[in-house]
Chain A
Amino acid sequence: MSEAFLEVRNASKSFGTATVLDGVALEVAQGEFVSLLGPSGCGKTTLLRIIAGLTTAESGAVILDGQDITTRPPHKRDVGVVFQNYALFPHLSVAENIGFGLRGRVARNESASIVTRFLELVRMNDFADRSVRALSGGQQQRVAVARALAVAPKLLLLDEPFSALDRKLRETMQMELKRLLRELGTTAIFVTHDQDEALVMSDRIAVMNQGRIEQLDSPQALYDRPATPFALQFVGLSTRIFGEVTSVEADGTIAVTTVHGILRTQGRFARGSPVLLGIRPERISFGTREGCNNIAPRLADIVFQGARVQAHFASTEDEPILLETSARLPTDIAPNAVLPISWAPEDTLVFPRTADS
C-alpha cells in the first residue's frame, strides 16, 4: 500500500480521565473496505467520529485524498456516515431523505435522477414517497446507505449499521452493501463488534482494544496469524494453554512445558520465557500422529452444529480445549472418555505471556 487515500496519524482522545483513543494510526487505500473491530468501549466509534469530524481529537491528524482535513467541519469533509440508528429525517419522505444532501449542490433534474438511481440501487423504488417512519429496520438501513452515498462522498463510514437487524436480514444486507460499495468503488470504514461480520465483509480488519489498534491485517491473516493474544481471542475460537519455554532447538523449534506435557512449536523465545499457546479448533484432530503435539484429555461435551461438530475437552486451565471437525463422530463415545488428540507444531500459535493475557 504505497498511497494512502485516508491516513489517520497519532489520533488521541480522552473523555475526562478515561483515554478512549491512544495514538491510533490508520491507513486506508482507495476503494478499500476496512473494518474497525473491537469490544464496546475500545474506541472504534470515537475513531470513526474523529474521521467524520463529529468529534475533535486532542492530537493527531486526518488526511483524506491528499488534503489535511483535521480541522475541517464535517460538512466540508466529503465523508459520509451511516449511523447506528440510521438518523433518517422523520419529517421527510424516502426520496427526500436520499436527496437531502443534493439540494443546492446539483441541478434539480439531476438531483431527481440521482435519487431515482439510488432508490433502484437499494431496491426502494416502490417506497419513494413513503414516510421513513413506516419502514422496517432493513428498509431504513437501505435508505440511510443510499442517502449517504447519493452525495458521492470520498469516504463512507458505517457505525454498526446492521446491529439492529435480525441475523438473516443482516446477512442479506451485508452482501448487498458489499456489492453496492464495489459497484460504486467507494472507500469504506465499517465499525463493528461482530467478528463474523468483519471477516465476511472486509478487505482488511483493524482489531481495536483499549484505544489502540492491535492488528491491521486481511481477514485470513488475522485469523491464521493473530499478532496478539487479544486478537487471537477476539477473532475466532481458540484453545489457550499457558506454559514456559524449557528448551530451544537449533531449527527454531521450542519445547513448552504445560499442564498437558511438553508441546512443541516454532518461535523465537529464550529458555524460561512464560508463553501463551493458541490452537484453532479445526487444526486439532482425533488420534495420535507422529511429529505432532499429542495429548489425551477427557471429553466433556459434544456440541452438534450441523455442518461441524465441536468437542470440548476438560482442561485444568479455565478454558476447555476445543476441537472442531466436519467429520461425523461415532455415536458410541462415552461421555467421559479419555481420547487422544493431536495438532501440528506449526499450527501452534505462540505469544509472549503478558499481564493481561
Chain B
Amino acid sequence: MNQDRSLIGWLAVPAVAYLVFVYALPLLWLLARSITGPEGISFALFRDFFADPFSWRVIGNTMRIAGLVTLVCLLVGYPVAFALARAKGVVQVILLAAIILPLSVGVVVKAFAWQVVLRRDGVVSQFLVGIGVWSEPQRLLFTETGLVIGAANVFLPFMILPIYSVVKLIDPRLMEAGATLGVGPFRRLFRILLPLTLPGVVSGIAFVFSLAVSMFVIPSLLIGDRFQTLATLTGRSFLLMRNEALGSVTATVLLVLAVMIVLLSSLLARRAGRFS
C-alpha cells in the first residue's frame, strides 16, 4: 500500500519538473529581480513604486475593474447556475454547451467582437438609443464600462460552473422544508440557498477575480493605453519600455494581490462550509 502510494507520487514528476522550469524558476528570477539593487538586496524599487501616485492609480484601476467584473459575473452567473442545475434533458445540454463552447473561442477574437459591438454605431448603442435610454449614440468602447462588459462576458463561465456544481447537489426539498416551517421565500434564499451555495460562489469569485486582475489582452483591446492596470503596465514595462525593474515590481505586486484574494476566499469558504 505504502509502496503503491509512493509510486503514484512519481506520476506527478513530469508535470512538476515542467512547472519548475517554465514557471517557478522564472518567477523566482522575477521576484529576485524586483528586490535586487546595485548593492545587493534592496527594496528601493518597491519604495519608489509605492511613492508614486500613478502606481496607486494603477493599483486602484486593477482592483476596481477586477472587482466590478467579478461582481457582474456573480450577479449574472448565480441565477444562470440555478437555471442550469434545475434544467432537464436537452435544455440542460443546450445551456451547458452555450456556456462551455464560447471558452473555445480565443480571447482576442472575443475582444475584437466586443470592439464592434461597443462602438458608437454598434449594436448596444443603437439598441439603447432605439428604446430611448440614450438620446444620441455613444461609444462604450475605450470606457471602463465597456471593459467590464467585455471582460465579464469572457470570464462568466468561470463563475457559473463552480456555482452550478454546488447547486446541482442541493436537494430541492430543502426549500420546501423551509417553506413548511413558515419561512418566506426571501428568508429561505438567505438562510438556505446562499449558505449552501457559498463554497461555489467563493470559488467562482476566486476564479474570476484572479483572471480579471491579471487580464492583459482584453484591456489592451477594449480600453487602450491611457488606462493602465498592473498587468498592462507589467506588459508595457517589459515589451515597450524595456524597464525590467519596474516590470518585475508591478508583476510582484499583482502576484501578491491575486494570491491574497485567492487565499482569503478559500479561507472564507472553509469557514462557511462549517459542516461540509
Residues of A near B275 (CB, < 8 A) are 90-93, 131-133
Is the CB of B133 closer than 8 A to any CB of chain A?
no
Residues of A near B177 (CB, < 8 A) are 81, 83, 87-89, 147
Shortest distance in angstroms between B77's beta carbon and chain A's nearest beta carbon?
21
A43-95 contacts to B, CB under 8 A, are 52-54, 73-81, 83, 85, 87-93
Contact B274 A80 (CB under 8 A): no
Shortest distance in angstroms between B20's beta carbon and chain A's nearest beta carbon?
40
Contact A80 B276 (CB under 8 A): no
Known contacts A83-B173, A91-B195, A104-B187: A148-B180 contact under CB 8 Å: yes
Contact A81 B196 (CB under 8 A): no
Known contacts A90-B196, A93-B275: A100-B176 contact under CB 8 Å: no
In the assembled complex, the Cα of A80 lies from the Cα of B274 at a distance in Å of 27
Is the CB of B171 closer than 8 A to any CB of chain A?
yes
Is the CB of B239 closer than 8 A to any CB of chain A?
no
Contact B176 A54 (CB under 8 A): yes
Q: Which of A83, A92, A132, A151 contacts B182 (CB 8 A)?
A: A151
Is the CB of A105 closer than 8 A to any CB of chain B?
yes
* Interface magnitude class on chain B: 20 to 34
Contact B182 A78 (CB under 8 A): yes
Known contacts A75-B184, A104-B187: A90-B179 contact under CB 8 Å: no
Residues of A near B173 (CB, < 8 A) are 83, 85, 87
Is the CB of A101 closer than 8 A to any CB of chain B?
yes
Contact digits for A86-118, partner B, Cβ 8 Å, 1 yes 0 no: 011111110000001101110000000000000
Shortest distance in angstroms between B199's beta carbon and chain A's nearest beta carbon?
10
* Interface magnitude class on chain A: 20 to 34
Known contacts A87-B171, A90-B196, A91-B195: A151-B179 contact under CB 8 Å: no
In the assembled complex, the Cα of A104 lies from the Cα of B184 at a distance in Å of 11
In the assembled complex, the Cα of A339 lies from the Cα of B194 at a distance in Å of 71
Is the CB of B191 closer than 8 A to any CB of chain A?
yes
Shortest distance in angstroms between B177's beta carbon and chain A's nearest beta carbon?
4
In the assembled complex, the Cα of A75 lies from the Cα of B176 at a distance in Å of 9
Contact digits for B212-255, partner A, Cβ 8 Å, 1 yes 0 no: 00000000000000000000000000000000000000000000
Is the CB of B32 closer than 8 A to any CB of chain A?
no
Q: Which of B174, B179, B191, B274 contacts A74 (CB 8 A)?
A: B179
Contact B180 A100 (CB under 8 A): no
Q: Which residue of B lies closest to A104 (CB)?
A: B187
Contact B176 A89 (CB under 8 A): no
Q: Which residue of B lies closest to A156 (CB)?
A: B180
Contact B179 A89 (CB under 8 A): no
Is the CB of B192 closer than 8 A to any CB of chain A?
yes
Q: Which residue of A lies closest to B177 (CB)?
A: A87
Contact A101 B276 (CB under 8 A): no
Q: Which residue of A lies closest to B184 (CB)?
A: A75
Shortest distance in angstroms between B269's beta carbon and chain A's nearest beta carbon?
12
In the assembled complex, the Cα of A78 lies from the Cα of B179 at a distance in Å of 10
In the assembled complex, the Cα of A90 lies from the Cα of B138 at a distance in Å of 50
Residues of B near A153 (CB, < 8 A) are 180
In the assembled complex, the Cα of A78 lies from the Cα of B196 at a distance in Å of 25
Residues of B near A148 (CB, < 8 A) are 180-181
In the assembled complex, the Cα of A93 lies from the Cα of B195 at a distance in Å of 13
Contact B192 A81 (CB under 8 A): no
On B, residues with C-beta under 8 Å from A are 171, 173-174, 176-185, 187-188, 191-192, 195-196, 273-276
Would you list the 4 A-B pairs with minimal beta carbon distance, nearest first? A101-B181, A131-B275, A74-B179, A87-B177
A-B contact pairs, 8 of them (CB 8 A): A76-B182, A77-B180, A87-B171, A89-B174, A90-B275, A104-B187, A132-B275, A148-B180
On A, residues with C-beta under 8 Å from B are 52-54, 73-81, 83, 85, 87-93, 100-101, 103-105, 131-133, 147-148, 151, 153
